[in-house]
C-alpha cells in the first residue's frame, strides 16, 4: 500500500460552541475520485475548506504528501478549489480568470496566455476567451471555473457541489466531462456533493457524512450492498431495513426474528450474542418476486400497494402482514410478465448473501 | 371655487422635474444672465456684455485661485481616501455586522452638529498656544503654526468629509463578495495583494463616488479655507465672497461661480464614466 496523498487524523473543527466536523479520520489516495456526500450542513464544505487551508482545524492533523498542513496558508498550497458559487472574477475576461493563478505564481505573460487558451480550448470554450464573465451561460462559466483551477496543473482538485447551479440535462453532460477529465489527468478529485446519484455515478470511493462525522467510507458498490449503519442504509434509499433480535448464530450467518418473520442474513465479523438487537438490509433490486411460494430461508408474503416508474425501471411498494413496508426494484418488462395489480398477494425472497447485518445501529 | 381646487391638486401632482426647473435650473439661468450684467456706480444694471468674463478670465489671481482650489481639494480628497481606507477596510472585512452598524451610526453623529461649530473647535486644538502645541512643547518641539496654513484648510476639509468617506467606503467594501477574496487566495494570491487584485476592482464604483463626493464638498467649501486656512491664498468660494464685497461685483462673482460649476460638472462626468467603465473585455 502506497502512502496516501492526504491524511486526516482526528480532525475537529469547531465554530465557537458549534461542532462542524468531529474526529475525522480519512485517507485520500493519489489519483482517486473521492466523493464526500451528505445532506446540507453536515460539514462537507468545512472539510474541503480545511483541505484548502481556508479554515484551520481546531485540533487534529491534516497532511498532504506527508507534510503537516495545519498552519500552511491557502496561497502556499496547490489545492485549487472549484466553488459552489464558481467565484469567477466578474471584472476579468474568461481568459484573464484562467490566467489569474498563473500570474500569482509568476508565470510570464506569453506563457500564461498560451496555457490559458489551451485550457479554454480543451474545455471547448476557446471562442469565449475574451468575453466578460458576466455574459457567459451557466455551463460556460462552469467550464471557465474548471479551466481556472486545472491550468495550475495541481495534483489534487477540490470541487464543492460544482454542478448544483446547472439544469438537469447539463448536469449529466458535465458529470461525463468531469469523470473523463479525472481519468485523463490521473489527478485526485475530492468532490463534495449532496446528491447520491452524482456521488455514486462518478466516484471511485464515497465518504458519507452525517452531522460532522463520517458515517461510512467505501466504493459505491460496497456502500450500496452493505451499508454500515442505519443512517447510511436509509440515506442510500432503495434499501429494505428490518430490525429484530438475534435468534441464533451460525458462523458467518445470523438468524434474526422480526415482526415480519425470521430471516437469515450475513454478519460481518463483529461479536454478537443471541437475544441482542440486530438490523439487516436488503437492497431493493436484489429482492425477487413470485406468485408461488419460493424455497430458501428468506421469504415473506406481501400486498402490493403502489408502483413507481422511472425510465425502464419500476419500484414496487409492498406491505407485509405486520404492516412493514418493502421495496422491490425490477425491470419493467419483468413486471409485465408477472401481470400484477394493486392489492395482489405476492411472495418476496432474497438470498442470504444479499442480506447484510448492520455493524451498529 | 372648483377651478382653484384643481389648480392646487395639479401643483402637487406636477412631476419633480418642475421643481427642478423652478429651484435649480431657473436660478442657474438667472446666474448666467447676471454674469453678463454690468455694475455702474455700485449698482447692478441689466446688460449683455462680455466684460465680466473678459476681466475675470484674464486675471492672474483668478487662475491662481482656480488651480489652487483644485489642488488643495485634490490633496484633501487623496488624504481623506487614504486615511479612511484602513478604517473602512477593517470595518468592512474584520468587524462583525453588529460592530459595523454601530460604527456607521457613530460616523453619522458628527453631521448632527454644525460644521461651522466643529471647525471652530479646531482653533482650540491647533492654535499656537493650543492643545497640540502644548503637548509637543512637553517633548521640546514646536510651537508649530497650524492655523492659517494650507494644513489648516485640509484639516477643515477633512472635518467635513472624512466621516462621509469612511461611511461610503465601508458600505461599498462590505458588499464585496468574500468568496472572491478566498478564491484569489486559493489561486496563490498573498493576503495584502488581494486588496489590489480583488477588493479594489470590485469596489471601484463606490470608491470613485466617495472620492467624487469628497472633492465636490471640499471644492465648494467656504468655511475651512476662510477660518482655518486664513484665506491668504483664496480658494474660489472666498474669491466669490471678496468679489461681491468689493464694489458689488455680483456679475463677476457669477462668472467665478459658473466656472466652478462647469469644473465640477466635468469632473463628476469623468468620474462617473470611469466608475462604470467595464473592466476586462466585453
Ligand atoms: N464560519 C462559520 N461560522 C459558524 N458556523 C459555520 C461556519 N461555517 C460553517 N458553519 C456551520 O457548520 C456546519 C457545516 O457547514 P458546511 O460545511 O458548510 O456544510 P455543508 O455540508 O452543507 O457544506 C453548518 O451548520 C454551518 O452552519
Ligand atoms: Mg456546502
Note the pLDDT tens digit of each residue in B137-178: 899 887 888 888 999 999 999 999 999 999 999 999 999 999
Residue B175 C-alpha, separation from nearest chain A C-alpha, in angstroms: 14
Residue in the structure block whose three cell numbers are 451561460: A137
Q: Residue B280 region, left (φ>0) first, then alpha (ψ -120 to 50), else beta? A: left
Tens of pLDDT, residue by residue over B28-70, are 999 999 999 988 887 888 888 889 999 999 989 999 999 999 9
Q: Which percentage of chain B shows pLDDT scores above 70? A: 93
CA A303 / ligand 1 centre spacing (Å): 44
Please tell me if residue A16 touches chain B, with a CB cutoff of 8 Å: no
Judged by CB atoms closer than 8 Å, whether chains meet at B182 and A130 is answered as no
* Residues of chain A positioned with their CB less than 8 A from the CB of B201: 89, 91
pLDDT attached to residue A228: 86
CA dist list (Å): A6 to A31, A48, A158, B19, B175: 11, 12, 12, 69, 36
Measured CA to CA, the distance from residue A45 to residue A84 in angstroms comes to 9
Judged by CB atoms closer than 8 Å, whether chains meet at A90 and B278 is answered as no
* Residues of chain B positioned with their CB less than 8 A from the CB of A83: 179, 183
Judged by CB atoms closer than 8 Å, whether chains meet at B280 and A101 is answered as no
Q: Which set of grid coordinates corresponds to residue A158?
A: 477540490
* Residues of chain A positioned with their CB less than 8 A from the CB of B186: 52, 54, 74-75, 79-81
Tens of pLDDT, residue by residue over A183-219, are 999 999 999 999 888 999 999 999 999 999 999 999 9
Strands (DSSP E) along A47-185, which ranges? 59-64, 67-68, 81-82, 156-160
pLDDT attached to residue A361: 59
Average pLDDT over residues A331-336: 86
Measured CA to CA, the distance from residue B166 to residue B174 in angstroms comes to 12
Judged by CB atoms closer than 8 Å, whether chains meet at B186 and A132 is answered as no
Q: Which pLDDT band holds residue B10 (cuts at 50, 70, 90)? A: low
Tens of pLDDT, residue by residue over A25-34, are 999 999 999 9
Q: SS3 of B128, please? A: coil
Please tell me if residue A161 touches chain B, with a CB cutoff of 8 Å: no
Say what the ipTM of the complex is: 0.85
**pLDDT surpassing 90 at residue B24:** no
Residue nearest to atom 18 of ligand 1 (CA): A45
Alpha-helical (H) ranges within A128-261 are 138-150, 168-185, 196-202, 220-225, 230-235
* Residues of chain B positioned with their CB less than 8 A from the CB of A92: 279-280
CA dist list (Å): B41 to A319, B30, B254: 111, 22, 19
Q: Which set of grid coordinates corresponds to residue B229?
A: 486656512
Measured CA to CA, the distance from residue B125 to residue B111 in angstroms comes to 20
Report which ligand 1 atom has the smallest distance to the Cα of A43. Answer: 17
**pLDDT surpassing 50 at residue B268:** yes
Report which ligand 1 atom has the smallest distance to the Cα of A47. Answer: 17
Residue in the structure block whose three cell numbers are 450474542: A273
| pTM for this entry | 0.85
Amino acid at each position: 500500500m502506497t502512502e496516501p496523498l492526504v491524511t486526516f487524523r482526528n480532525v475537529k473543527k469547531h465554530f465557537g460552541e458549534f461542532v462542524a466536523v468531529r474526529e475525522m479520520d480519512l485517507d485520500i489516495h493519489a489519483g482517486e475520485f473521492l466523493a464526500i456526500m451528505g445532506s446540507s450542513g453536515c460539514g462537507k464544505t468545512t472539510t474541503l475548506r480545511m483541505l484548502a487551508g481556508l479554515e484551520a482545524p481546531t485540533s487534529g492533523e491534516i497532511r498532504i504528501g506527508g507534510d503537516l498542513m495545519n498552519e500552511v496558508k491557502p496561497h502556499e498550497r496547490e489545492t485549487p478549489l472549484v466553488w459552489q458559487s464558481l467565484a469567477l472574477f466578474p471584472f476579468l475576461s474568461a481568459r484573464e480568470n484562467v490566467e489569474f493563478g498563473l500570474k500569482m505564481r509568476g508565470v510570464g505573460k506569453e506563457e500564461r496566455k498560451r496555457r490559458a487558451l489551451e485550457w479554454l480550448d480543451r474545455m471547448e470554450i476557446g471562442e469565449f476567451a475574451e468575453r466578460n464573465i458576466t455574459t457567459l451561460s451557466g455551463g460556460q462559466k462552469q467550464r471557465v471555473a474548471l479551466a481556472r483551477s486545472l491550468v495550475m496543473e495541481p495534483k489534487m482538485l477540490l470541487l464543492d457541489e460544482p454542478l448544483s447551479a446547472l439544469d438537469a440535462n447539463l448536469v449529466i453532460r458535465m458529470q461525463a466531462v468531469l469523470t473523463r477529465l479525472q481519468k485523463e489527468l490521473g489527478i485526485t478529485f475530492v468532490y463534495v456533493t449532496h446528491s447520491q446519484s452524482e456521488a455514486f455515478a462518478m466516484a471511485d470511493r464515497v465518504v458519507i457524512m452525517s452531522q460532522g462525522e463520517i458515517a461510512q467510507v467505501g466504493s459505491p458498490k460496497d456502500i450500496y450492498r452493505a451499508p454500515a449503519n442505519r443512517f447510511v442504509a436509509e440515506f442510500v434509499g432503495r434499501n429494505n431495513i428490518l430490525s429484530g433480535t438475534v435468534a441464533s448464530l451460525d458462523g458467518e450467518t445470523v438468524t434474526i426474528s422480526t415482526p415480519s418473520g425470521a430471516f437469515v442474513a450475513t454478519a460481518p465479523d463483529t461479536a454478537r450474542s443471541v437475544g441482542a438487537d440486530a438490523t439487516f438490509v436488503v437492497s431493493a433490486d436484489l429482492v425477487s418476486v413470485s406468485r408461488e411460494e419460493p424455497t430458501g430461508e428468506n421469504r415473506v408474503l406481501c400486498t402490493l400497494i403502489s408502483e413507481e416508474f422511472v425510465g425502464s425501471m419500476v419500484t414496487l411498494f409492498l406491505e407485509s402482514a405486520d404492516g412493514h413496508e418493502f421495496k422491490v426494484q425490477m425491470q419493467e418488462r419483468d413486471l409485465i410478465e408477472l401481470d400484477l395489480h394493486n392489492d395482489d398477494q405476492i411472495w418476496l425472497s432474497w438470498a442470504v448473501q444479499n442480506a447484510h447485518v448492520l455493524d451498529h445501529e | 371655487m372648483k377651478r382653484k381646487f384643481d389648480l392646487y391638486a395639479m401643483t402637487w401632482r406636477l412631476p419633480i422635474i418642475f421643481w427642478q426647473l423652478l429651484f435649480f435650473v431657473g436660478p442657474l439661468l438667472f446666474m448666467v444672465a447676471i454674469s453678463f450684467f454690468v455694475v455702474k456706480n455700485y449698482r447692478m444694471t441689466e446688460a449683455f456684455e462680455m466684460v465680466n468674463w473678459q476681466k475675470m478670465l484674464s486675471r492672474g489671481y483668478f487662475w491662481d485661485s482656480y488651480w489652487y482650489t483644485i489642488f488643495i481639494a485634490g490633496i484633501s480628497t487623496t488624504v481623506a481616501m487614504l486615511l479612511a481606507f484602513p478604517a473602512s477596510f477593517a470595518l468592512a472585512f474584520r468587524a462583525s455586522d453588529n460592530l459595523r452598524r454601530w460604527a456607521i451610526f457613530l460616523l453619522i453623529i458628527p453631521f448632527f452638529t454644525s460644521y461651522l461649530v466643529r471647525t471652530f473647535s479646531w482653533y482650540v486644538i491647533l492654535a499656537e498656544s493650543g492643545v497640540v502645541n502644548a503637548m509637543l512643547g512637553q517633548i521640546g518641539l514646536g510651537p508649530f503654526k497650524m492655523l492659517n496654513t494650507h494644513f489648516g484648510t485640509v484639516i477643515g476639509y477633512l472635518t467635513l468629509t472624512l466621516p462621509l468617506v469612511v461611511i461610503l467606503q465601508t458600505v461599498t467594501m462590505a458588499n464585496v463578495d468574500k468568496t472572491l477574496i478566498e478564491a484569489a487566495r486559493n489561486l496563490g494570491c498573498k493576503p495584502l495583494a488581494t486588496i489590489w487584485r480583488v477588493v479594489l476592482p470590485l469596489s471601484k464604483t463606490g470608491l470613485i463616488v466617495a472620492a467624487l463626493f469628497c472633492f465636490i464638498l471640499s471644492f465648494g467649501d467656504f468655511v475651512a479655507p476662510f477660518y482655518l486656512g486664513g484665506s491668504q491664498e483664496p480658494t474660489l468660494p472666498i474669491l466669490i465672497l471678496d468679489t461681491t464685497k468689493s464694489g458689488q461685483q455680483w456679475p463677476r462673482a457669477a462668472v467665478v461661480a459658473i466656472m466652478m460649476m462647469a469644473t465640477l460638472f466635468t469632473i463628476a462626468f469623468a468620474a462617473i464614466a470611469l466608475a462604470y467603465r467595464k473592466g476586462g473585455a466585453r
